Chains A and B, each alone.
Chain A
Amino acid sequence: LAKTTQPISMDSYEGQEVNITCSHNNIATNDYITWYQQFPSQGPRFIIQGYKTKVTNEVASLFIPADRKSSTLSLPRVSLSDTAVYYCLVGVFTGGFKTIFGAGTRLFVKA
Chain B
Amino acid sequence: IAGITQAPTSQILAAGRRMTLRCTQDMRHNAMYWYRQDLGLGLRLIHYSNTAGTTGKGEVPDGYSVSRANTDDFPLTLASAVPSQTSVYFCASSDSKGFNNEQFFGPGTRLTVL
Contacts and interface: CB of A to CB of B under 8 A. Distances in A.
Interface in A56-109: 87, 89, 91, 93-104
Interface residues of A, number: 26
Given A96-B31, A100-B59, A101-B42, A43 B106 contact: yes
Given A44-B43, A104-B42, A95 B105 contact: no
Contacts of A95: 30-31, 50-51, 96
B56 to A, nearest CB: 7
Contact of B107 (A32, A43, A102): A43
Interface of B: 30-33, 35, 41-45, 48-51, 56, 58-59, 90, 92, 94, 96, 99-108
16 contacts: A34-B101, A43-B90, A43-B105, A43-B107, A44-B90, A44-B105, A46-B102, A87-B43, A93-B96, A95-B96, A96-B49, A96-B51, A98-B45, A99-B101, A100-B45, A101-B35
Contact of A96 (B33, B35, B90, B108): B33
Dominant SS among interface residues on chain A: strand
A46 B103 CA distance: 7
A43 B101 contact: no
Interface of A: 32, 34, 36, 41-46, 49, 51, 87, 89, 91, 93-104
A87 B101 contact: no
A48 to B, nearest CB: 9
Contacts of B99: 32, 51, 93
